[in-house]
Amino acid sequence: MKRFLHHDELARDSRFVRQDNAQSTVLATLPDDVDTIVNTFEQFSEMIEGSVKGTAAEPLFESYGPGFALTILNEPIDPDVPASLTRLLLRMHGIFVGEIQALEGAARSLWDFPDAPWDFKMNMARQAWDEARHVQIFEKLLNHLGGEVGMFPESTFLFECACSEEPAMRVAGVNRGLEGLACDVFRDMIKYAEKTGDERMRQAVDYVLADELTHVRFGSEWVREFTKDDPEHRKRVNEYRRTVDKQFSFGGARSDREDAAIPIAWDDRLEAGFTEEELKDLAELSSSGPTKKTLVEAARILRERHLAKREAAANGSASEAQS
């Protein structure tokens, strides 16, 4: 069996729609400038439209235009706002495919490094077992909310960004970057379930979060072990984890800002083995993208232009029909 699988080779059945990862990568590198953001999204408009066509995200594109992700990602999920169910389902589906990729990441770590210590392999096997259970839990929660597998496109961005060919970097990316993001997202989902009184969702996500803390701990311990006696190596691994964390902040949507859509789960992360110093660094690097004001303004312009384009197209075809 092949080692070091490329993200394009991840196997899915016919229910899944694969999305280009470019959009997620672009989100991580946006500057704090309205015009640049608007131009970037307009440039990708056709690709974004193509990637949501025929999926449950198509109405979001129709309502908000190519910058719909800016609105969806940067507004906290609130049961009282319009399209809240679609947005909740979009996030739940994103978590579901994230669990599949976490399963693939852990299972690949077990397979890709045959010379790694036995205890490392046992930890990765344990994690793969947990992630398989999480995939099932989130599939059930998706159904519980009225959604289904494949209703939104899947981006394999998480797997692509977190999987390095070097074992210390692999666990830094998957077990500290990806699993750390999972802690933030799950704490936020628990708060949402408490707000809506959804006891089933609250309890299920709480159980999953307990596992994720263990997975982050595997990462913290194995990075230490793989880089012991080599401070240079440890520094490079930490730099890699910081790059992954920057990408997983989606331009500040996951950050320590007061109005962040996904706040950093500070207490959970401390329990999982992150240090105060690492968390302060994460808060700083995740908040360094465009301000919320910039993103809201860019999203507004993109939406206006999109609706004007649609109206012009509709008028054009109406006058064609008349002549």
Pick 177 or 263: Cβ nearer Fe ion: 177
Compute the Cα dihedral for 289, 193, 93, 151 and give only its sign: negative
Name residues whose C-beta falls within 8 Å of residue 151's C-beta, 6 or more positions apart in sequence.
Answer: 55, 56, 89, 93
Residue 269 touches Fe ion, criterion: CB under 5 A: no
Residue 245 touches Fe ion, criterion: CB under 5 A: no
Task: Give the 3-state secondary structure of residue 154.
Answer: strand
Instruction: Give me the least distance between CB of 235 and Fe ion, in Å please.
Output: 26
Residue 215 touches Fe ion, criterion: CB under 5 A: yes
Rounded CA separation 265/301 (Å): 32
From 108, 134, 241, 269, residue interacting with Fe ion (rule: CB under 5 A): 134
Task: Give the 3-state secondary structure of residue 30.
Answer: coil
Which part of the chain contacts Fe ion (CB under 5 A), choosing from 131-139, 278-286, 294-302, 310-318?
131-139
Residues β-bridged to residue 155: 19
x/- letters, 59..88, toward Fe ion (CB under 5 A): ------------------------------
Task: Give the 3-state secondary structure of residue 214.
Answer: helix
Instruction: Give me the least distance between CB of 205 and Fe ion, in Å please.
Output: 11
Name residues whose C-beta falls within 8 Å of residue 248's C-beta, 6 or more positions apart in sequence.
Answer: 28, 158, 161, 177, 178, 180, 181, 254
Which part of the chain contacts Fe ion (CB under 5 A), choosing from 89-97, 99-107, 136-144, 302-310?
99-107
Pick 189 or 298: Cβ nearer Fe ion: 189
List the Cα angle 313/317/321 in 5-degree steps.
Answer: 170
Nearest CA-CA partner of 39 in 308, 301, 310, 312: 301
Instruction: Give me the least distance between CB of 199 and Fe ion, in Å please.
Output: 21
From 104, 154, 212, 278, residue interacting with Fe ion (rule: CB under 5 A): 212
Which part of the chain contacts Fe ion (CB under 5 A), choosing from 74-82, 86-94, 152-160, 204-212?
204-212
List the Cα angle 308/17/47 in 5-degree steps.
Answer: 35
Pick 184 or 212: Cβ nearer Fe ion: 212
# residues contacting Fe ion (CB under 5 A)? 7
Q: Using CB under 5 A as the criterion, which residues of the chain lie in contact with Fe ion when the complex forms?
A: 99, 102, 131, 134, 179, 212, 215
